[in-house]
Chains A and B, each alone.
Chain A
Amino acid sequence: DAGVIQSPRHEVTEMGQEVTLRCKPISGHDYLFWYRQTMMRGLELLIYFNNNVPIDDSGMPEDRFSAKMPNASFSTLKIQPSEPRDSAVYFCASSGGGNEQFFGPGTRLTVL
């Protein structure tokens, strides 16, 4: 299995631009999670889906952030407009409903 796939691995953009991060979960997994990692706040859950339905989005910072999961094999996290404080590493993880979450390699976002 290829594991959780994220793209792009690195993204540099300017303040005000739209950013879209992509994730392909492990085949057969029905849970998908988006996390953000910063020096100041550590690792924090943004949102998670079960069977493509958002279950808990209480960690989404504000309306500039949105996430979708149009099908079982694809999810996006969009930031519009982006701000410098959004600079972080964004991780996608998936789970087969058991106790283990498997993480992707992350997308390092820099907003100038």
Chain B
Amino acid sequence: GEDVEQSLFLSVREGDSSVINCTYTDSSSTYLYWYKQEPGAGLQLLTYIFSNMDMKQDQRLTVLLNKKDKHLSLRIADTQTGDSAIYFCAEIPFGQGGKLIFGQGTELSVKP
């Protein structure tokens, strides 16, 4: 079945790097996503990676994909207090159209 797992909490100091991890079960997923949700707001797409890629970098964000271990990570360099939010990993399993399967979300707390 389809399942996406994330740790629930992460706390870092401002200026440090944050690494948020995610594991998924469906090896057929073609795209994997990272969304950010600030309190009381909707979900903002941060970045996504195609399953035939190992890494994608976008400014302070680096996504690493280990397809063998079904492990996805999001690294935020030079983490700022404005990065405090909940981060969701998501996948679209093959043949599921646009159906996003989300993890539980990781709450990132950035301390000054």
Contact = CB atoms under 8 A, between A and B. Distances in A.
A91 to B, nearest CB: 6
> Number of contact residues on A: which range applies?
20 to 34
Interface residues of B, number: 19
A99 B48 contact: yes
Contact of B99 (A45, A102, A104, A106): A45
Most buried by A among B31, B45, B105: B45
A100 B45 contact: yes
Given A91-B43, A104-B42, A105-B41, A99 B31 contact: yes
Given A100-B45, A100-B48, A103-B42, A95 B104 contact: no
B87 interface: no
Interface string B43-74: 11100100000000000000000000000000
